Amino acid sequence: MLNEIASGAAPLSASHTTESLSPWWRRAALITMAFGFAVLILLTTKVYTDAPPIPDQVISSTGAVVFTGKNISDGQLVFLKYALMDNGSIWGHGALLGPDFSAEYLHTLALHSATSIAQQIYDTPLEQLAPAQRAMVEAEVRTALKDNRYDPQTRVLTVGPAYEAWFQSRPSVWIEYFSSPVKNGGLSAKTISDPVELRQLSAFVAWTAWASSANRPGTTHSYTNNFPYDPVAGNTPTANALLWSALSLIFLLGGTAAVLLAFGKFDYLGWKARPGYLHPKILGAQVTPGQRATLKYFALVALLLLAQTLVGGAVAHYRADPGTFYGFDLAAWFPSNLLRTWHLQLAIFWIATSYVAGALFLAATLGGGDPAGQKKGIDALFLGLVVVVVGSLLGEWAGMRQLLPDLWFWFGHQGWEYLELGRAWQILLAVALLFWFGLLVRALLPAWRDPERREIAGLFMCAAVAIPVFYLPAMFFNGTTHFSIVDAWRFWIIHLWVEGFFEFFVTVMVAIIFLQFGVVTRLTATRVIYLDAILYFAGGFIGTGHHWYWTGQTSLNMALSALFSALEVVPLTLITLDAWDFVRLSRPGSDSTRERVEVPHKWTFYFLMAVGFWNFVGAGIMGFLINLPIVSYFETGTLLTINHGHAAMMGVFGMLGIALIVFAIRQTADEALWRTLEKYIWVGFWGLNVGLLMMVVFSLFPAGVLQLMDVLDNGYWHARSLAYTGSDLARLLEWSRMPGDTVFIVFGVIPIAIAAVRAYLAARKTPRGAGAPIL
């Protein structure tokens, strides 16, 4: 029996040994995946024909060329080269340190047009008009902005004199914006000063504003479904946004009812404890050299997490006080868009590295040991990851400092939010992930050959191979690709890669951990994996499109994405059904002598329970709050988005990453070392969860609600402008993040980092070839 546990096959009772899984679980998972992919691919390919057209020429009513399609493309390159997507946003996608450039341009263009019309008709300044006169002027403005004068045959867009005049004035507006960190959210002074680049940037932003307002042919709304909200410019919610929001609630209620009915009828669904088992524990297994080699990964993970949180604190400070960092001109060397880039990239790096190491650790346990040369492969992969992490972070700094004039896209900063690392580093990362998958396959082959473990091992391989394969869409575009097309592929990574296949991968790893503990049977673990795959894929694949509501997609995307995005909440609600099972399994049990037996991996269980809590709160409640089209229309790109991002990314994927750290430390540390490290784990657990909760409750959520109210009262452009973000109340709520950030870093991250580094240093002192018992 000890050998079975050591090899990863927990002993099965006779009743469970003879049970088998219905083939319909596999078929249902494959059918769900095929259907979801078919619809997602349809929506993705449609953007190539439905995206807002880029005219070859934009001409005035007199026939003069205002700007060209090449100017628009070059302007997008300027936007990317200077990392302005990590400062402000386009169509709501980007950072919140600066304005939404599309919304700001559209609103100021509308005001400029209204001023011109008021002067022409009434010879009176706009602000001095009588209410009826002003209403007539604004109606004229809305009509002019909504009129689509693009000719698809000649690919020429004709604009009025007010549009031309406002475009010509934009370079001076940009000069003012880039003049000081106080005015632009922490950019370096004079980030862009070249007149040619300023004109090109103006062309790109002017085009995005035109696409935001001009009616899509055959409809009564713009290419971006009337986003951003701006009544002065004629942008108000569409009927589709209201209709599909209401219908998505029906999908949510129906899906939840169906799943709850299934859980009521079939009492074996979910994390059901193994009959007769008293306490979760692994006995007699040996720590392999490859497993011990993963401890340096976890030490690196903890240090990257620490760096990410410190950088994140600096980014939050930029929103609270962009002009100075406690008297130091931080923007001169580390501008806000660079620090935000590092904050995002470090988060991706440390979470992904934790999963990479955790998978290697679990593969050795499930496979029964290390294949020949596995440790050398793990060491080589570690060096490769270090090169990618350090090289890409330095490259982003060099690219934004304009030290890579011709190579910024390849080795510097690509400019696309979440995918900032240069294309060369992306390729190296993809190669490293493929190499990692090869290491996993080598370790899992013994389990694959064992009929008892074959299905679990196969699911592990399927979940793992999806990680490198579905990272490839990050390379389907470049700096000149249409913005709408890029956003489609970008969210294949941000949503599908992370919230789809990483969710699946997470479920498989958690199932394997529980299987190794012996608290569930092989049948239960396999069934839960298939069930979660069906539920996550049913809504998650097509639900990717909820990020595309306002980026140039049609109403078809809104309809399908709203309905299926609502289903993403269903599996998250099921976490509440599993909550008591998690609590029960983590409690001390009693052995045959009725003595209390402590659960060796209780802190791993606690972090897994935290994953469940934040999955429901951060991804479920906070995510669904902003997913409905009618809510997203007013909210996207506000602090409610950041609120969801922090609660879901850190609360779910981050807590699981730390659970893997704790699991590996407990498995490899002897009892004396563990007693020393456990107090750091205890403090870190509560520090991370309490600190994250304080961030959400004291700052991010209330600040997001108030910003949403400002959108409703004054328009999207205003809530994203310095007029609101620089107000006393907005700045006060930013400062109110400090207590939560302090608790999170000092009492959460630092203790975990100490434990991970000390565990690694202790492992280095272990004699080569030693295989100390796990427990």
Specify the higher pLDDT residue, 8 or 597: 597
Whole-number pLDDT of residue 15: 36
What pLDDT score does 498 carry? 76
Let me know how long the chain is.
775
pLDDT at 19: 60
Give the residues across from 719 on adjacent strands: none
Sequential DSSP letters for 484-513:
HHHHHHHHIIIIIIIIIIIHHHHHHHHHHH
Categorize the per-residue pLDDT at 268 as very low, low, confident or very high, splitting at 50, 70 and 90. low
pLDDT at residue 516 tops 80: no
Q: 120-129, 194-203, 466-475, 582-591 — which one is most confidently predicted on average? A: 194-203
Residue 736: predicted pLDDT = 95
Rounded average pLDDT over 234-250: 95
The four Cα atoms 26, 30, 31, 33 give a dihedral, to 10 degrees, of: 140
Cα(524)–Cα(518) distance, rounded to whole angstroms? Answer: 11
Between CA 467 and CA 647 the distance in angstroms is: 23
* Over residues 565-570, mean pLDDT: 84
pLDDT (0 to 100) of residue 412: 95
- 251 DSSP assignment: H
What whole-number distance in Å separates Cα of residue 203 and Cα of residue 77?
11
For residues 144 and 534, what is the distance between their CA atoms, to the nearest angstrom? 49
Residue 76 in this model has a pLDDT that exceeds 80: yes
pLDDT of residue 14: 35
Three-state secondary structure call for residue 494: helix
Per-residue pLDDT averaged across 231-260, rounded?
A: 92
pLDDT band at 425 (very low <50, low <70, confident <90, very high): very high
What string of DSSP letters covers 64-129? Answer: -EEEEHHHHHHHHHHHHHTTGGGTSEETTEE-SSS-BHHHHHHHHHHHHHHHHHHHHHHSS-GGGS
Tens of pLDDT along 676-726? 999 999 999 999 999 999 999 999 999 999 999 999 999 999 999 999 999
User: Does the pLDDT of residue 599 top 70, yes or no?
Assistant: no
Count helices and strands in the chain by DSSP H and E runs: 35, 8
Beta-carbon neighbour count of residue 494 at 10 Å?
19
Q: Which residues contact 159 (CB under 8 A, 6 or more apart)?
A: 58, 59, 60, 61, 66, 149, 210
Tens digit of each residue's pLDDT (9 = 90 or more) over 326-385: 888 899 899 999 999 999 999 999 999 999 999 999 999 888 889 999 999 999 999 999
pLDDT at 775 over 50: no
Which runs of consecutive H residues, i.e. helices, occur in 568-621? 569-573, 575-586, 602-614
Distance CA 480, CA 201 (A): 13
Write down the mean pLDDT value for the chain. Answer: 88
Query: What pLDDT is stored for residue 105 in this prediction?
Result: 97
Per-residue pLDDT for 595 more than 60? no
Q: Which two tokens stand for residue 572?
A: 């998250």
Q: What is the tens place of the pLDDT at every residue in 281-333?
A: 553 457 899 999 999 999 999 999 999 999 999 999 999 999 888 888 899 89
pTM of the model: 0.91
Q: Is the pLDDT of residue 564 over 70?
A: yes
Contact predicate 49/185, CB 8 Å: no
Residue 438, pLDDT above cutoff 80: yes
User: DSSP label at 150?
Assistant: E
Q: How far apart are CA 502 and CA 366, in angstroms?
A: 20
